[in-house]
Amino acid sequence: MTDPRNTPLHIGAPYRTRITEREHFADIIVNNDGNRLICFWIVQRFGSPDVLTWGQERSFKAAQHAALQELGRRHRQSKAS
């Protein structure tokens, strides 16, 4: 069975993608209201409802890059602790 934490989701929007990095994950949600494209990214820890970091970008690629940077930063931070 596929781990649902690593499965891209397509629910009610062109893209909704989850990226995982150890104990953290980032969801990227694309909102296209017809006038403009906004891509939100949200970083959380598995098992916690708290949003650790979030942002918005003007392209999916930029949102993916920002989310990956934040996940990498958190991973490096947890290794240093």
* CA–CA gap between residue 63 and residue 40 (Å, rounded): 7
Q: For residue 63, what pLDDT is reported?
A: 94
With pLDDT > 70 as the criterion, what percentage of the chain qualifies? Answer: 81
| Structure token pair of residue 24 | 């953290």
Dist CA 29 CA 16 (whole Å): 5
- Give 22's Cβ-side CA count (13 Å radius): 10
Encode 64-79: b = buried (16+ Cβ within 10 Å), e = exposed.
bebbeebbeebeeeee
**pLDDT tens per residue, range 24-50:** 999 999 988 778 889 999 999 999 999
> How many other CB atoms are found less than 10 A from the CB of residue 19?
19
What is the average pLDDT across 59-80?
Answer: 92
Tokens 């958190």, located at residue: 74
pLDDT given at position 48: 96
Q: Is the pTM of this model over 0.85?
A: no
